[in-house]
Amino acid sequence: MKRRAALLAIGACAATLATRVFGADAPSSDATAPVRAFYDALLDVMKRAKVLGVKGRYDRLAPVIEQTFDLPAMTRIAVGPRWTSIPKEQQGALVDAFSRMTIATYASRFDGFSGERFEVDPNVDARGSGSVVHTRIVQPKGEPVTLNYLMRKAGGKWKAVDVYLTGTISELATRRSEFNSILDAGGPQALIGSLREQTDRVLRPAPAS
């Protein structure tokens, strides 16, 4: 379960998830609304995971992930200060590769349903210009796993720009360490290639038994 929870933080979980959402009457301007909608979409896909297959899950999840997460901002944050020195064409390729990798990770990992649920706390905490949405993965057996989303306004809409496993471990801080190693070794094109390779690997159909 902890492995899937870590992947959910961009997000890149052990069993897949059902949803129970608190604060269902919150207005659409509430920072929790995108997270609740995201979880609803995940639940729907999980219940049909085997029928859809990994590519079908990717296609179903892509629109809601793009609506929930500020993927361009997440790419910039994960790359860090080097971003401004990368040519614009490669910046665009990095955003595309990072976005596809993120969606593919969810599509690969959320491949069934076994009675877990998501809980979303309607009370949010202010964090600078943003808000932190608190959620938990509740398992039929085992301890709940905390996942907190840092939300910021983008184009007038709340979007997630980072996810914190156990409430404190930043997904993007972890990604930055990985990305910097690749950038040191081969520059932006190497990072683009690595992200594309990860996507191709997780979307590759499993061999027939």
* Cα 66 to Cα 73: distance, rounded to the nearest angstrom: 12
The label of the residue with tokens 């992930």 reads 65
Cβ(137)–Cβ(166) below 8 Å = no
pLDDT tens per residue, range 146-170:
999 999 998 899 999 999 988 789 9
Going from the N-terminus, what domains does the chain have, and what CATH number goes with each? 2-203 (3.10.450.710)
pLDDT tens per residue, range 12-38:
333 333 333 344 344 445 999 999 999
Percent of the chain with pLDDT over 90: 66
Q: What is the pTM of this model?
A: 0.84
pLDDT tens per residue, range 52-83:
999 999 999 999 999 999 999 999 999 999 99
* Cα 83 to Cα 79: distance, rounded to the nearest angstrom: 6
Cβ(150)–Cβ(162) below 8 Å = yes
DSSP 125-160: EEETTEEEEEEEEEPSSS--EEEEEEEEEETTEEEE
* Cα 31 to Cα 151: distance, rounded to the nearest angstrom: 7
